Structure 1
Amino acid sequence: MTGLQRTALCLPLLVIPPCTLADIEALDDKSLSQVTGQSGVTIELATRIDLDRFSYIDEGSLSIYDLSLSDPDGSAMDNMELTVDVAGDGEVLEHGFSEMARRANAGQLDTGNPDVADALARYAVGGSFGKQFNAGDAVIHLGPIDSGDPTSLDDYLHSVDFALDIGAVKAEGPVDSTTMFSNIHLEGYLGPTDIVIRNAGDSTRTLANGDTVSDSELQLDTHFEITDGSLDWDVADVILLFNFAAVGIEGLQVHNRWGEDTAGHFGMASATARLSQGTSGRSGHEGLSIHNVEFRADIDMPVFKVGGTSIGTIQFEDFVISNTNMMVYGH
C-alpha cells in the first residue's frame, strides 16, 4: 500500500516540464512565515435545521424534541455570509459591528447616534475597521450578504431573520417523564456573530475565582433580537428560587433598548462566552472552563398567563448576567 501511495505522488511530477522544475526552490522557515492567505474564505450560507430529538442520557435523560431553525416563513435561513480567516500578527479582521464603523467613517451614518459613535471608537484600528488579532488566530465572522441601503441601520439590523421552534423539553426516567417547556416559538433577527479560536500555545492565566484556564480558547460573541416569542412553561425552577409551573408567555420580546448601558449594541441583546481547558481552583478537577460569560438584554412579556389566565405584563430592564464562570467535569 505504501508503494502505491508513493507512485501516485510521483506521477504528477513526471508531467512537469524540466524547465519548470528548475524554477522550484525549497522554502526555508523564514520564507514560509511570510506566506499567508490574506484574502481568507467567504461562504454564502443558506440553511434549515431540523432535529427530531436530542438527549443527554445518564440514569435518565434530558431531551429536546422537534427542534427546527429556519426562516420565519419555514424556508431556509438565507442572506448569511461567513468570512473565515487565519490572522497574521496584528492583522485587523471583521468583528462585531465593524461594518457600522466603516460606514460611519465614510459619512454614510450619523456619528451623533451613540451606537454609531461607539462602533467607530471601538472598531477603528489604524485605518482599518475590525479587531486586531494575533498570528494564527482563527476568526469566523457572520454577517449579511445584502444589508440594503448603506445609510439605513434598520436595513442592516433586519437583514438576517430566523424562527426557532421546539416542541418540548422533557426530563425522562425509566418509567415517567416530565415536560418542562413546550410549544416554544421564537422569531427575530440575528446580528453580527463571531467565533474566534485564539492561538496562545500552552500559556495559561488565573481567573479572579482561582480557576486556571488556557489562553488558547474559543471565544463567542453574538447579537440578536427576539421580536415575537411564545412558550408554555410547564414545570421548571428559575435560578432555584421560583417555580413557574403552568405559565404561558406570549408576545415575548428580547432586545436592548430601554436600559442605561445600551450604547454599542444597536438595540440588540448580546451574549459573550469563552471556552477552554481549565483546572478548578477549589476542587483541583480538570475540565471545560466556560468563563467571562455575559448576557445583556431587556425582556418584555406583554402576555403572562398562569393557569391559562393572563395576570398582566412583565418587563425586565437591564437584565444582565456577568462575572459568571463555570468548570464542567464528569463525576
Structure 2
Amino acid sequence: MLALSLPTTAMAEFQPLDDGALSGVTGQAGVTIELETKINIDHLAWTDEGTLRVNDMRLSGHNDTVLDNLKLTVDIAGTGEVLEHGFSEIARRADAGLLSTSNTDVADALAKYSMGSEFGKQFNSGDLVIHLGATDYGDPTSLTDYLQAVDFELEVGSITTTGSEGSATLFSDVLLQGYVGPTDLVIRNEGSSSKTLSNGNVVSGAELQLDTHFEVTDGSLNWDAADVILLFNFAAVGIEGLQIHNRRGDDTLGHFGMASATAKLSRGTGSVSGKEGLSIHEVEFRADIDMPVFKVGQVSIGSVQFTDFAITDTTMMVYGH
C-alpha cells in the first residue's frame, strides 16, 4: 500500500534486485554493540535437597565503576569468511608496522592470524561468531594500552551451602581486579553431525566454543572449606595479593602475559554411563599463579607460586540424576 501511494517520480527511483545483487546486501558486515554495564546480584541459589548460594555478587569496572569500553562484534560467517578472533587486532597492527615483530608474541600473532590480506580466523558458512574486544584501545603502538583496555572487578560476599545439618561457608570476601583480553564465543554450524571423543563419548558437531584471555592483577579471598580439582582441600586459608597471568616459564608464547581458557560445549552421550547430557570437552586452562600472602588461620606461612599451571585433556559430561 505504501508503494501505491508514492508519486510516479519516486517510484522511478526503485529498481528490482536480482539474486546476485541481493547477495551483496545480506548482513555481511555483522552487528557491533558498544556496551557499558554494572551487574549486582543479591544472591543466586541452586536448591536440591539443600541449597548452594552465591551472595552479594558484583561485576563492574575497577573500584566499583561502570564496566565500560566493551565492544561486541556479532557475525554469521559465509563460506571461508575471515572474522575477528583472538589477537587478530595485534596481527593487523604488526602488518601495518605499528608493532614490532621483534616481540615474539607479536610475531606469533602475525603468523597465526594473517589470512592473506585479512586478519582473524576462517569460519564455515552459518557459524555464529561473537568477539569481545574494546571500543577504544588507546595508542595503536602500545601493547600495554591494548592489554589493559578493558578492566574489571568481581566481588562476591560469600558462597555457602545449607542443608538439614546446618550451613557452611565455602568462600568469603572474594575481590578480584584485572583485565579482560580478547574473548570469543563461536557456535559452529555442523547440523546434525556428531563426533567421538578420545574417551568414547559421542558429542554433537554443532558446539559452542569459548576462547578467552584475562589477567587478575590483585585479588583476595578467604578459602573457608573447598577442594581444588577434587585433590587439595584448602580449608581456613586466606589469600592476599593474588595474581593470575602467564609471564613465566615455558608456556608464555602467544598469550601476551595473560592467562587463557578454552572449552567446547555441546550435547553428548557418555560412553560408560550411556547418559545424555551437556558435554564440556577439550577444556584447557593455562596460567602462572602468585599468592604472595598465604595464610593458614590468621598466620601467613609465606608465599606460594605456580608456574606453567595447566589443566588439559579434560572432559565432563553433566546430566541430572
What TM-score do you get using the length of structure 2 for normalisation? 0.95
Hey, what's the Cα distance between the residues in 2 that align with 1:281 and 1:24?
Answer: 58
Counterpart selection for 2:271 from 277, 281, 292: 281
Match for residue 171 of structure 1? Answer: 161
Residue 44, structure 1, aligned to residue 34, structure 2: yes
**Structure 2 residue runs without a partner (length 5+):** none
Counterpart selection for 1:216 from 202, 206, 214: 206
* Kept in 1: contact 2:72–2:131 (CA 8 A): yes
Partner-residue secondary structure (3-state), 2:85: coil
Residue 113, structure 1, aligned to residue 103, structure 2: yes
Partner-residue secondary structure (3-state), 1:73: helix
Partner-residue secondary structure (3-state), 2:63: coil
Match for residue 98 of structure 1? Answer: 88
String of CA shifts for 1:229-255, please: whole Å, max 9, x gaps. 000011112233322111100000000
Alpha-carbon RMSD across the aligned residues, in angstroms, is: 1.9
Hey, what's the Cα distance between the residues in 2 that align with 1:218 and 1:45?
Answer: 22
Match for residue 186 of structure 1? Answer: 176
Match for residue 218 of structure 2? Answer: 228
Match for residue 69 of structure 2? Answer: 79
* Kept in 2: contact 1:36–1:88 (CA 8 A): no
* Kept in 1: contact 2:202–2:268 (CA 8 A): yes
Match for residue 200 of structure 1? Answer: 190
Residue 124, structure 1, aligned to residue 110, structure 2: no
**Structure 1 residue runs without a partner (length 5+):** 1-10
* Kept in 1: contact 2:83–2:122 (CA 8 A): yes
Counterpart selection for 1:307 from 276, 282, 297: 297
String of CA shifts for 1:153-175, please: whole Å, max 9, x gaps. 00100110010000000011145
Residue 263, structure 1, aligned to residue 253, structure 2: yes
**Paired amino acid for 1:133:** F
Shift of 1:31: 7.7
Shift of 1:57: 1.1
Residue 149, structure 1, aligned to residue 139, structure 2: yes
String of CA shifts for 1:64-95, please: whole Å, max 9, x gaps. 00000001121211111111111110000000
Identical columns (%): 64
Match for residue 245 of structure 1? Answer: 235
Task: Call closer, same or farther: CA 1:157–1:286 in 2, change over 3 Å.
Answer: same
* Kept in 2: contact 1:251–1:303 (CA 8 A): yes
Partner-residue secondary structure (3-state), 1:122: helix
Hey, what's the Cα distance between the residues in 1 that align with 2:12 and 2:42?
Answer: 56
* Runs ≥4 residues deviating over 4 A: 11-14, 16-28, 30-35
String of CA shifts for 1:11-50, please: whole Å, max 9, x gaps. 546535688499676977x886665311111111111000
Counterpart selection for 1:322 from 295, 312, 316: 312
Partner-residue secondary structure (3-state), 1:150: coil
Hey, what's the Cα distance between the residues in 2 that align with 1:43 and 1:141?
Answer: 10
Aligned length: 320
Shift of 1:116: 0.4
Hey, what's the Cα distance between the residues in 1 that align with 2:188 and 2:39?
Answer: 28
Hey, what's the Cα distance between the residues in 2 that align with 1:23 and 1:231?
Answer: 64
* Kept in 1: contact 2:3–2:11 (CA 8 A): no
* Kept in 1: contact 2:43–2:57 (CA 8 A): yes
Counterpart selection for 1:53 from 29, 43, 57: 43
Hey, what's the Cα distance between the residues in 1 that align with 2:219 and 2:89?
Answer: 29
